[in-house]
A = this chain, B = another copy of it.
């Protein structure tokens, strides 16, 4: 944890929900019985809470973590993009949505407009993707290749 600063405005009131979230986040395939043991509530109570967390959107969904190399995409990169013509309406995220090599798209502060995170098979594929992005969204790009990933997708809630 970082140094202390005024309390964070979390939207989950309950300490039990926090523990539930941690448990579910780390093992979404675990049984309700597992969660029940983790938080000290009955299976029914746990089920009701999980459903509420899903309904409120606190739990937005579930995903399996797939190894990029195993599916033929060992090369990752950040691509910052900037519209060539600032006067034009800027719809880059929509224009790029169909490119499934793009894993993430954020609007950012700073010189560029957007930051993309992409995964491809080879440098050759990266070249092609960058060209496709430039053409599809009428933008200039600045690509930063990832050499090694130490960790990513760490859970949002730290455990005590």
Contact = CB atoms under 8 A, between A and B. Distances in A.
Interface of A: 1-3, 5-6, 8-12, 21, 24-29, 56-73, 76, 78, 93, 97-110, 115, 117, 119-122, 124-125, 128-129, 131-132, 144-158
Given A3-B132, A62-B62, 15 more contacts: A2-B125, A5-B121, A5-B122, A5-B128, A9-B72, A9-B121, A10-B71, A11-B72, A21-B66, A58-B67, A59-B64, A71-B156, A106-B147, A107-B148, A109-B146
Given A62-B28, A107-B150, A72 B8 contact: yes
B99 A1 contact: yes
B2 A99 contact: yes
Copy number in the complex reads 2
Given A3-B128, A125-B2, A152-B103, A57 B70 contact: yes
A1 B120 CA distance: 11
Determine the main DSSP class of A at the interface with B.
mixed
A10 B68 CA distance: 9
Contacts of A93: 150-151
A24 B72 contact: no
16 contacts: A2-B132, A6-B122, A21-B66, A25-B64, A27-B62, A28-B29, A57-B67, A62-B64, A63-B153, A73-B156, A76-B106, A93-B150, A106-B146, A106-B152, A107-B149, A109-B146
